[in-house]
Structure 1
């Protein structure tokens, strides 16, 4: 049984992962977020909820006490600062395993017309800040996995394939449920994909843009 700290626990992917972890594993979850009332009722026998700010290193250090894995589902213009504080807190508490949700395109790895469209949609701060956060993670001594999803859908399906850093990204979309499933699998087998950055997409979705645009 593992103890898992989930940062940004009210996020859509995080909520799906929480449900799957409670259903399929015996893990105990610590849910860290700004406004805990957003979560509603939780199973107090397996879930602890902490109000906190991912830029507050002292709060992160306190939350990391006794944890085996940190799963960060964070977002915002200050994502690089959040990454810096998460890495520092993990180093301070000697928690090594980190799952970090990022985005496609941070290495300019998306080819062709879709890559150009992705830049048009995400340049101007988003790609740059997420790329900077990934550099902070990769420069650390942590056992990280950076997860780079394609454009996200709410489809009720688990269908995905992965690519490694240095490979061209495949596909244009992936369901949040698929990303949550990948997170759950990595928590169940934490020795996999260590110090890797993996792209995640739904197979056979190549195109100039996601189907809903």
Structure 2
């Protein structure tokens, strides 16, 4: 059993991960989010709620105390600031293991027509800020795994493949359920994929853009 802190605990992928952790493990969950009232059906024997902003480093440092692993499901225009805050809070608490959700395209690794479409959709502040945040994580001394999902769907499908940093991204889309499965496996096998940045897509979804666009 471990103490897991989930940052951005109300996010869709985080909610899926949380549900599986409660059903399939005995881990204690520390749930950190901006608006605690958004969480429903809290198991107070196994879950502790923390309300705050991830850019508030002193608060995050205090609330992270006692955690063994950090799963960050954060987003927003200030994602680089959040990344710096997470790294500093983890260092202050001597926590090493981090699972960080990012996005595809931060290394310009998406080829062809889909890569051009992805740039058109995400350039102008989104890709740039997520790339900067990933660089903060990669320059830290943490035992990190960065996850770069393809365009996300709510399909009831669990099917995914991985690519490494430096390899061309493959498919155009992936289900949140699939990404949640990868996170769940990393939490339960924290020695896997350390120091790696993983592209995640559903096999056989290559094309000019995701099927739902």
Q: TM-score, normalised by structure 2?
A: 0.99
**Matches of 1:124 and 1:7 in 2, distance apart?**
25
The alignment status of 1:46 with 2:46, answered yes or no, reads yes
- Superposition misfits of 4+ residues, deviation over 6 angstroms: none
| CA deviation profile, 1:113-170 (whole Å, cap 9, x unmatched) | 0000000000000000000000000000000000000000001121111000000001
Question: Counterpart of 1:137 in 2: which secondary structure?
Answer: helix
Q: Structure 2 matches for 1:62-101, cutoff 5 A? A: 62-101=62-101
Deviation, structure 1 residue 41: 2.2
Question: Does the residue aligned with 2:55 lie in a helix, a strand or coil?
Answer: coil
Q: What is the aligned-residue RMSD (CA, Å)?
A: 0.5
Tell me the SS of whatever aligns to 2:49.
strand
Alpha-carbon distance between aligned partners in 1 of 2:121 and 2:150, rounded to the nearest angstrom: 13
Match of 2:130 in 1: 130
In the alignment, structure 1 segments of 5+ residues that lack a partner are none
Partner of 2:156 in structure 1? 156
Q: Which residue of 2 aligns with 1:13?
A: 13
Aligned to 2:175: 175
- Matched with 2:27 is 27
- Listed as ranges, the gaps of 5+ residues in structure 2 are none
The 2-side partners of 1:185 and 1:139 are apart by 24
* Mean CA deviation greater in 153-162 or 125-134: 153-162
1:140 paired residue number? 140
SS class of match (1:40): coil
> 1:40 deviation in Å?
1.5
- Cα distance in 1, alignment partners of residues 111 and 24 from structure 2: 36
The two structures have a TM-score, normalised by structure 1, of 0.99
- Whole-Å separation in 1 of the counterparts to 2:184 and 2:194: 15
Rounded Cα–Cα distance in structure 2 between residues aligned with 1:63 and 1:202: 35
